[in-house]
Amino acid sequence: MKIKVAFGSGTDELNSALVERMRAVFPELPLWVVSNFPPEDKTLPWIPWYNSRTLAENMGRARASIGDNTIRLAGVMLVPNVPFRRMRLMALLLAPLHFLAFNENLNNFMLRPASLPAILRHCLWRTGNFVRALFAARPAAEVSAPAPAAPAVSVFIGRPAAARPRVLVASPYLPFPLSHGGAVRMYNLMLRAAREFDLILICFTDEIAAPPAELLAICAEVILVRREGTHELPSRGRPDTVEEFDSPAFHDALRGAVRKWQPAVAQLEFTQMAQYAADCAPARTLLIEHDVTLDLYQQMLTTATGGEAWEVRRQLALWRRFEHDAWQRVDRVVLMSEKDRRLVAVTGSRGEPVTLANGVDLERFRPSLREPEPRRVLFIGSFAHLPNLMALGFFLREVWPALAGATLHVISGARHEYYLDFYRDRVHPDLAQPGIEVEGFVSDVRPAYERAAAVVVPLVASAGTNIKVLEAMAMGKAVVSTAAGVNGLDLTAGEDFVLTSTGSEMAAAINRLFDDAAERRRLERSARRTAEREYGWDAIAARQAELYRECASSSSITTF
């Protein structure tokens, strides 16, 4: 198919004008956009451009996105003092015979002999502007006092430290509020570890503010490091997420905390934090692999196409190198499931990997006597995690049309609208449909579970284990899931949950639960029993304490 492509290599205002001008040329052809940020019209296919990546990387992504389509017209803005020269070169390389150049006045020319007069006029006009700017008088700049910079690191005192072994926890996110599965795990295990160990928490935050009282009550000190968000991540041969959390301020603050507290154990939460392992010496280091990221990307690659497949393949290669190296940097790797532990053991790590499964607060999450609302389905998954958006997209395409008269309640986590836009080049679920209710962050999800007749986990790719499955089971809810949704959990299909492999199977299973209350209640009772028997946080915390004691006994730190 022939397409048009607008290359947003000018200012925001000029890029918008370019898109409108390109719409008018060959209006029968679909228009695509290559730009640093998504186009205002969300219906236009978008190919992201990254100034921090090489021309070859951007070219690879663009070619994979375009696929078998043919560029009939490549519109480019030729604007001085705008850092998109490589984008213009990419447009020329992709479509040399169909290169259409625009200036600030939206005058245009193509690279053809007939356009030589227009090209000459453009060059003379550009030269004249340069000469005039060179000799123009430059008024003195007004000098104003710079605004005081916000602190990059803040330290908050928690409960008094005792003469106990110290554990330092380094995290990319605050463990409270419980806005995602990682926070649920971290907080529940820290809460229980605080009975025997002095905890020091250092983590990133978007804004420096007093940490929640729940954290100060269990930590001797909480150190917050403001994360400097950026759209352009450096291209240094590491995964994007690793670059996103590489901070000189965090390195300095972590080394300072180690010198001050001399922890016996330093616990690095999430794979990307392995880059800080050397800063923790001489403490024994634990890397908590909430999921084996390379496994997740390998699964995502099986369903990705076009530009998404190119990007997933690139990230997979970067994660494979970084994650294998991370397992060698730390003393022990902690996994969520035996499946993940075996993968790390086969690949190789410095110390013997260990499984500490995810769990659930059995007192907080309990079955309710309240009857669920008829034909109400619950989906919980933070949109910050791409596989959750992919799962919702699959559900809306393959399952939702067959659930006549149903209500879908989606709890999407903090800043869900931002992440919808951030991942729109990979997945864009249509949430503006009748019967769909969308909420962002919800501090207490128990009422949502109580109202649901079924909880769906339609993941198409997943690593680690899903805490939301365990919460639903503890609440005594009927769970309908794909195999990826219960990845790593030792559950019995047909007893603890309903296993489905296609959209039609999932729709049929949900409709059966709607219509057969007795079967639904049988599943609910069985799910609660399994949660009680296998997945309470207290038992998991006891195994974590044993690991801490083992590491502390071999540590060179003797002062507690």
**Residues composing the chain:** 560
- Distance set, CA 503 to CA 331, 398, 400, 458 (Å): 43, 5, 9, 9
Per residue of the chain (560 residues), what is the pLDDT tens digit? 999 999 999 999 999 999 999 999 999 999 999 998 888 888 899 999 998 889 999 999 999 999 999 999 999 998 888 889 999 999 999 999 999 999 888 888 887 666 666 666 656 555 555 555 555 545 555 555 565 666 799 999 999 998 899 999 999 999 999 888 899 999 999 999 999 999 999 999 988 899 999 999 999 999 999 998 776 777 788 999 999 999 999 999 999 999 999 999 999 999 999 999 999 999 999 999 998 999 889 988 888 888 889 989 999 999 999 999 999 999 999 999 998 999 999 988 899 999 999 999 999 999 998 999 999 999 999 998 889 999 999 999 999 999 999 999 999 998 899 888 888 877 889 999 999 999 999 989 999 999 999 999 999 988 777 899 999 999 999 999 999 999 889 899 999 999 999 999 999 999 999 999 999 999 999 999 999 998 999 999 999 999 999 998 876 665 44
The answer to whether the CB of 473 falls within 8 A of the CB of 479 is: yes
Q: Shortest CA distance to 69 belongs to which of 138, 146, 1? A: 1
Q: Where are the alpha helices (DSSP H) in 350-497?
A: 386-398, 416-422, 446-451, 467-474
Q: Specify whether the CB–CB gap between 459 and 486 falls below 8 A.
A: no
CATH class in words for 153-355: alpha beta
- For position 131, what pLDDT does the model report? 54
Domain ranges of the chain: 2-135, 153-355, 376-535
Strands 436-439 and 407-411: parallel
pLDDT the model gives residue 43: 87
In whole angstroms, what is the distance from residue 197 CA to residue 192 CA? 9
Residue 149: per-residue pLDDT: 60
Amino acid symbol at 518 = A
72 and 30 in contact (C-beta within 8 Å)?
Answer: no
Structure tokens at 488: 């790593």
The predicted-structure confidence for 213-248, as pLDDT tens digits, reads as follows 999 999 999 999 999 877 677 778 899 999 999 999
**CATH number listed for the domain at residues 2-135:** 3.40.50
Which pLDDT score is estimated for 427?
Answer: 86
Q: Do domains 2-135 and 153-355 have the same CATH topology?
A: yes
Burial class (CB in 10 A: 0-12, 13-18, 19+), 137: exposed
**Rounded CA gap, 485 and 500, in Å?**
10
Q: Give the span between the Cα atoms of 399 and 507, in whole angstroms.
A: 5
Q: Which two tokens stand for residue 364?
A: 């907080």
**Confidence at residue 179, expressed as pLDDT on a 0 to 100 scale:** 82
Looking only at the bridges linking them, the beta strands covering 221-226 and 153-157 are antiparallel
Cα separations in angstroms, 39 against 32, 123, 428, 486:
10, 29, 14, 37
Q: List CB contacts of 412: < 8 A, sequence separation 6 or more.
A: 381, 382, 383, 388, 419, 438, 439, 440
pLDDT of residue 349: 86
Distance CA 34, CA 313 (A): 20
Question: Which architecture, in CATH terms, is 376-535?
Answer: 3-Layer(aba) Sandwich (3.40)
Mark residue 270 as left, alpha or beta (left: phi above 0; alpha: psi -120 to 50; beta: remaining).
Answer: left
What confidence score (pLDDT) does residue 560 get? 43
Q: Report the alpha-carbon distance of residue 544 to residue 550 in Å, rounded.
A: 10
pLDDT recorded at residue 228: 83
Q: Which residues pair with 110 in a beta bridge?
A: 100
